Structure 1
Amino acid sequence: MSISVFKDWVYRTPAMVYNKDSCILLVFSNATTAVGRHRRLAMRKFLFDRGRNFSPMWCKTQIVREASLPGHSSMNPCPMFDEENRKLFLFFMVTSNEHLHEEHLFYKSRLCYITSNNFGHSWSEVNHLTVCLPENCIALAIGRGHGLQTEDGRLIIPTFAFIDENPTDENLFHMQSLCIVTMVEKAGSLVPENTAECQMAEVWGHGGRFIYCNAINKDRRLVEAFSEDNGDTFIVSEDGKFANTCTGSPGSLLSFPVKDKTAMGSDVSPSPNRWLLFTQPSISGVELGVYVNKTPCDPKAWTKPWIINRGPSGLSDMAYLGDGYIACVFETRENEDLDNVVMKIFNFYHIWPNTDDTDGCLCCCTVM
């Protein structure tokens, strides 16, 4: 059982960001009118009570009107909270309503962002992201999901670039995942693979901190890559468990601190031991599974999925709330098409004793 995050319109492509100091979770989504003429960004706010196992105290829904331009549609929200400067970023794509239903939509779109100094209560005007793009890059796009702030304060937005293969043919190009460092608005490294939408997470390995990237290539197969220099360069893993796995849609990544069982109920200090969670719908788009990797430096160490939704399921995103609680939002449907976003909350205690059990049992979920 779960709670609907959005209603009334058609809502797709969820993403969220959490403020651990105020216990406020913001969930963003594409909002499309019934006739599909234009898209906006919707936001719903949840306030959690840590003393009641992170049960929501209140919530409200609104259209983020600042994230729009006249005659354009907005889509693919990607929030990121700069904890050091207490500033919230919301990245998104804008495209002319005239091009909304064209095949190469992102090719004719622009990457923009707005900011908030009060965690979504009010927003700035629209800013256009200007970066020093790689050679022959003709456009920049963003998928969906959240951004990343590393332990040293670096802000990273996972995007993908359109690389021109033949300047005389506008339809001949390929896409590559790209890491953008927003603190100085410069491009990081292209993942050396023909990939598009991606997500990134910072984890710890034997050699220290590194960034793990999970992306989708042109054949809709998963690509795993690692960066040991904070996103400046990436190396593709060729023999991971997910390597070349066929998938229907991109997944969601979450890195969070893991302590021993006696300390799981406390977030007193960050642990160098971080595990990776990865949510991925089945190829048929029915079951939504959560994969666990206790040694993220080993791409073969993923468990089989724990099923948290029996279906239907689509794109998802995750956020770590603290005290072992994890929120997961995902697309689902009441009719023929995916048209709604719901959220489930589960505690890692439910997975902890059975991380070596790969039977794919149903994960116990807290109903909101």
Structure 2
Amino acid sequence: MDEDIKPMLHTLVYVKQWGRYLAFAEKRSDTRDDSALNLVMRTGKPEEHGCLEWSPIKDLREARKDGYRSMNPCPVFSQSQETLFLFFICIEGRIREGALSPGQTRLCYVATDNAGETWSEVKDLTETVGGINLLHYKTFAVGPGHGLEVDRSWSGLGSSTTNKRLLIPAYVITKRGNSHSLLFYSDDDGESWQAGKQLVQECGENQVAEVRVNGGTESYLYCSSRSTWGRGLQQVPRTEALSDDAGESFTKLQTLALKETPHGCQGSVLAFPALKRRGAAVAGHRHGGPSSGSGSDTWLLYSHPARGPLNGEGQWIRRDLGVFLRESLQDGGGRDHKPWGEPHILHHGMSGYSDLAEGSAEGHFACLMECGEAAKLRIVFKEFDISEIPKPAGGSMSGA
């Protein structure tokens, strides 16, 4: 890519049906949000001996509206349709986010059923999302990061036509400048979309993961959201919440065990089936997981810069992109409850946004992340195994 072009705000998804990673990002001429040009993508195909064959960078000419710049890619894959929906926002002209007025941001998506070889025409949903008037807000955004498809039958919300729900993480910014997380969701394979209730706490960029507990008899959505109310070098708790109605509403956890870097940062969360063992590790995994029928059937990974600025550095400096493991949704409600393990550092040094994806093999994962030095942050793809992630203190715990 040209050195004068800077990829920013990226997302990653692995689609098993296509046997490919799909990576998306904004293409900018500068690091400022008003310099965004368009969205770009690459696909990565796993080859023998653990290698990946990446396609050339492709401009997504379909993902745009005349007179607007495209930002914040957020893909979600529909298993039933074998279709990937790529959500994004379109912002009018070159107006910076802080100067936006209601009506200058649009909610859009394009779709592909052939791993990005071709795309549908852009669809603007701004004035058709149920349960919210997006034109009432100063601005709003989706992602950046991946969406999710969940099974509503676990929450008793399924219907005779479909049990699947597509989820897009989003946030709105009020006219007073307050930010609140929420989800957009579809129960009809993307034909129509609704807005869930906003989190009461002031928070922004978020991701959700589906966690099954108690032998698979219950299912929750776990939400990890960027806290936006910290000031200066203040470290505030990251907002963590649970939903038992497939994302229509959330309740904040009693124990907020994750800390933000100053001013907060986007983070990624990913759920995967708990790796169980009886006397021997599974797929080289060294952790002992909960036994079948008890505790959590799902583990969580979370990626985020593990450190803020060093002495004398600027307030917005973020360092050491780490991946954390959580083996249970149990909410201890006390200061000594530490559900997350210590981070496995994927990159030492300057870091930023990230997105996690499950790989093609059990216990294998990938992360697309910003890292580098100062104004020269670049987007890097890195794979890792669950055996590299430190175990939470106290081991596996009971379910929610």
| 8 Å Cα contact 1:247-1:283 kept in structure 2 | no
| 8 Å Cα contact 1:137-1:162 kept in structure 2 | no
TM-score (norm. length: structure 1): 0.83
- The Cα of 1:259 is off from its aligned counterpart by 2.4
CA pair 135-29 structure 1, distance change in 2 beyond 3 A: closer
- The Cα of 1:211 is off from its aligned counterpart by 0.2
Tell me if 1:149 matches 2:145. no
Question: Hey, what does 2:233 align to over in structure 1?
Answer: none
Distance 1:209 1:279 in 2: 22
Distance 2:325 2:387 in 1: 13
Question: Hey, what does 1:201 align to over in structure 2?
Answer: 209
Distance 1:26 1:135 in 2: 32
CA pair 182-344 structure 1, distance change in 2 beyond 3 A: same
Distance 2:260 2:308 in 1: 14
CA pair 342-35 structure 1, distance change in 2 beyond 3 A: closer
TM-score (norm. length: structure 2): 0.77
Higher relative contact order (CA 8 A, sep 6+): 1
Superposed CA deviations along residues 11-42 of structure 1, whole A, max 9, x for unmatched, are 11110111112320011111112597442111
Question: Hey, what does 1:315 align to over in structure 2?
Answer: 353
Question: Hey, what does 1:264 align to over in structure 2?
Answer: 283
Distance 1:109 1:151 in 2: 31
Question: Hey, what does 2:179 align to over in structure 1?
Answer: 175
CA pair 60-263 structure 1, distance change in 2 beyond 3 A: same
Distance 1:52 1:296 in 2: 36
| 8 Å Cα contact 1:205-1:297 kept in structure 2 | no
* Equivalent position amino acid for 2:283 in 1: M
CA pair 219-84 structure 1, distance change in 2 beyond 3 A: same
Distance 1:297 1:117 in 2: 38
Size of the alignment, in residue pairs?
337
Question: Hey, what does 1:365 align to over in structure 2?
Answer: none
Distance 1:333 1:80 in 2: 28
Distance 1:62 1:307 in 2: 30
CA pair 123-106 structure 1, distance change in 2 beyond 3 A: farther
CA pair 34-102 structure 1, distance change in 2 beyond 3 A: closer
Question: Hey, what does 1:289 align to over in structure 2?
Answer: 322
- The Cα of 1:74 is off from its aligned counterpart by 0.6
- The Cα of 1:350 is off from its aligned counterpart by 2.4
RMSD over aligned CA atoms reads 2.8
- The Cα of 1:255 is off from its aligned counterpart by 0.7
* Equivalent position amino acid for 1:275 in 2: W
- The Cα of 1:243 is off from its aligned counterpart by 6.6
Superposed CA deviations along residues 186-214 of structure 1, whole A, max 9, x for unmatched, are 11221121222111111123471100011
Tell me if 1:279 matches 2:325. no
- The Cα of 1:228 is off from its aligned counterpart by 0.9
Distance 1:35 1:259 in 2: 40
Tell me if 1:253 matches 2:262. no
| 8 Å Cα contact 1:46-1:60 kept in structure 2 | no
Question: Hey, what does 1:327 align to over in structure 2?
Answer: 366
SS at match of 1:287: strand
Distance 1:172 1:92 in 2: 24
Q: Unaligned stretches of 5+ in structure 1?
A: 1-5, 164-170, 359-368
SS at match of 1:103: helix
| 8 Å Cα contact 2:42-2:55 kept in structure 1 | yes
Question: Hey, what does 1:128 align to over in structure 2?
Answer: 124
CA pair 247-320 structure 1, distance change in 2 beyond 3 A: farther
Distance 2:37 2:298 in 1: 37
* Equivalent position amino acid for 2:120 in 1: S
Distance 1:86 1:159 in 2: 23
* Equivalent position amino acid for 2:219 in 1: R
| 8 Å Cα contact 1:38-1:97 kept in structure 2 | no
Question: Hey, what does 1:52 align to over in structure 2?
Answer: 49
Distance 1:150 1:12 in 2: 28
